[in-house]
Homo-oligomer: A and B are copies of this chain.
């Protein structure tokens, strides 16, 4: 039986790193940004267009003001919806192909029927600022306040995206199988027992 692990994560909590390291430890594939490439290929669109529409969909699907909603033309909605549907299809295909880790894209809810192991990754503000600074592009020099504003904005988008698929509360412990706080920790140092836990969890489920 396939073992599907989904990772929901606060921005800059290290969820993507954890996903990759877990996938390595469990010897399964990890899908993250690659899903965008796959959608682009399957829909015969450019990667840039898919990435941009996917992000705009997040931003605009639940408009904060009536003004914003008027700004959504029907061709935009059609395009963005088309891509969201294609994303879901790809996620389901990947899960059908075999055991894997899927980071983001509300995969925990998209794949609900497959009883995935649902992880949520979070971290405190200090760790998020450090992580963003370590990964900043050359020349990028955001203040702590700007970094945290960016984190909050992206987390709000992720919460909204989750709400499109489910009435569950993003970040509420009981919506996941394991929630991991990476604050001040080296993810690399903590992966082995998590992989053991996941293996035992699936064994215990399959009994």
Contact = CB atoms under 8 A, between A and B. Distances in A.
Interface of A: 10, 120, 122-124, 171-174, 176-181, 183-186, 189-190, 192-194, 196-197, 200-201, 203-205
A197 B200 contact: no
20 contacts: A10-B174, A123-B174, A171-B174, A172-B172, A173-B173, A173-B181, A174-B181, A176-B181, A178-B181, A179-B179, A185-B204, A189-B200, A189-B203, A190-B197, A190-B200, A192-B196, A192-B200, A193-B194, A193-B200, A197-B197
A124 B176 CA distance: 10
Contacts of A184: 205
Nearest to A196: B193
Copies of chain A in the complex: 2
B204 A173 contact: no
Q: Quick one: which of A174, A189, A197, A201 has the most chain B CB within 10 A? A: A174
A186 B204 CA distance: 7
Given A186-B204, A201-B190, A172 B171 contact: yes
Contacts of A176: 173, 179, 181
